Structure 1
């Protein structure tokens, strides 16, 4: 970072802002990690130095989430999108039905379901939604009696829908969960899941890595056509290093896990997440519909908050553009909504501080005061 360039507050959905403390630590080690004379990116993944990095990363995430020994922890490539294929390839054969139940509540679970259709039968648990603003009551879900697994996305990054409780399924199907955008922002009982996966560029690392937590007794059922890098059995037997892993991303993940522990662990991070989201939702809910959130309050995301700026209930793109310009002037970036939904979006990952969130909430109130008067 240039000395004369102020650091911006990055409210983007990913790659996300990392804590300044972590960045300084990485900067300090950049030219010589652990006094070995090489950058981490230059280390052999077979070296003792890197072995310690990946072992420490696994140890720390196991401690943070209380992951039992009956679960494998894999550091893989291909992002969360790669797991849209890897999950059915490894699990669809668990039951003779070769059917998976998919709860589609937004952009990413929809993509996952479409990809899974290549490998088996996909049962859509709820009808396709015109707009992803809500989750139908579980009593209305159409579940398969003998499903190989049940899949859902805990937090839809684009649409801002978060499922706060783990579904309790009458068919007792193995539960698979994409936690990419709310991973490490709330306490979770790992033992309720068959698989949890999360991409790293939001709450625990940088782009280039996906963390997969999978129950060991489910490993070894991959389809014969499964690419070797997507086969959980192969990756487990090679300590996530069947081929050269994303070494720098694992290194950053290790730093973030250590940082998360020093913040007080998941309990403290969950508390901070709630405080930050309450700041933004308060600005929205107290705006007399100048800011509009269409998500059912019971399913509002704490980490990705899409909203519109409206005059008389009608979204105003000119005002939204002005808001983005004013935010940029105040060194706040990446607040534009996804092209699929438009508007604005605030992403409040663990690297965003409460103080930074307060600055954004204050901007929202100031902007409303000025432009409501102008509109009147």
Structure 2
């Protein structure tokens, strides 16, 4: 059984917004008295809303899709009818159907049909918004359930009318394309290689991070293409792309990781904030092999930018026991009285991680 990862208040907001819109100007004066003409939200049973999903009026179907998720965890009986609305001729209704499938309870028996319906919207829907939301909804599922969507996601990664669809498709391909037993899905890796030439920077960024995270493909031709692309980017002028190319090269051959980790250490000393942050994120991905960066991360605990210090704490915590030499600096940071509270909590959490203790939930970033 699957429960949606989206905050259900998103759909509650839809209903509240509709009601508020109706109430604005929803009062009419007759004989000097105000008369409320705003439509009332009816209190109905779940079965009644399910029946409304077949109403000939698209606004009724739309409203039903906004209402159903608010019935909590007992909405699985609505899934077949909601899936049918994914083929609705009205684009607005399809949007609501896909959004509903991202939050509704889905029984195991309904997972294959739900995954297939979302994959079809991701691959074929004429509206970019529907495609985007469908791909986002797919990511609630485990790879074992959604690996069958890779072909649809590859097609979506080439969708010409919206770069955000291409970007999120590449992100989903990472989740569903990784296979530690047989190597990453070759189609997913190939799609990411093609996307490196995308005109949109966010898509190219998603592509390089996908290649870095997917790992070495078990296909000589594709693997050679990956090595060539990563080597070119690692030696290029764009430091952020070079960072992730280095992660990819380390993931291709762990014996070369030390060289690439040295590059990340140098990037931590750059004046550019984004370069520092990307280097820290990359270090977290590499994990224990990035232990040589710990002294440079400790230096960042003295940075004047709270955002840098906050992320340095997170990165040290992600290295767990490999960052044990950071215990004293982190302890001193926690003890300081004038430290911004989220930074202090991040430092405390890092200490817990280094000790092997599950840290407390993180506060909001500064």
TM-score, length-normalised on structure 1?
Answer: 0.23
Greater helix content: 2
Larger Rg: 2
Greater strand content: 1
TM-score, length-normalised on structure 2?
Answer: 0.23
By relative contact order (CA 8 Å, sep 6+), the higher-ranking structure is 1
